[in-house]
Homo-oligomer: A and B are copies of this chain.
Amino acid sequence: MRETKHELIKAGADLFLRRSYQGTGINDILGATRIPKGSFYHFFAGKEDFGLAVIDYQAEAVRARWAALLEDASLSPLRRIQTLFDRGAERLAASDFAGGCPLGTMAQEMSGLSERLRQAVNTALQTVEGQLAACVREGQESGDITKDVEAAAAAQLVWYAWQGGLIAAKAARSTVPLEDLKRIVTEYFLPDA
Residues of A within 8 A of B (CB): 18-20, 22-23, 97-98, 100, 104-105, 107-109, 111-113, 118, 121-122, 125, 148-149, 153-154, 156-157, 159-165, 167-168, 170-173, 177, 180-181, 183-185, 187-188, 193
Contacts and interface: CB of A to CB of B under 8 A. Distances in A.
Contacts of A173: 111, 118, 122
Given A104-B164, A122-B172, 12 more contacts: A20-B109, A97-B111, A97-B112, A98-B112, A104-B108, A107-B171, A111-B171, A111-B173, A118-B173, A148-B193, A154-B184, A156-B184
The number of times this chain is found in the oligomer is 2
Nearest to A170: B111
A184 B164 contact: no
A170 B121 CA distance: 11
A100 B104 contact: no
B161 A157 contact: yes
Contacts of A19: 112
Contacts of A109: 20, 108-109
Contacts of A18: 112
B112 A171 contact: no
Which of A19, A162, A167 has the most CB atoms of chain B within a 10 A radius of its CB?
Answer: A167
Closest A-B pairs by Cβ, 7 of them: A160-B164, A163-B164, A107-B171, A161-B161, A160-B161, A122-B171, A164-B164
A180 B167 contact: no
Contacts of A107: 167-168, 170-171
A64 to B, nearest CB: 20
B170 A185 contact: no
Which of A19, A149, A153, A162 has the most CB atoms of chain B within a 10 A radius of its CB?
Answer: A153
Contacts of A180: 153, 156
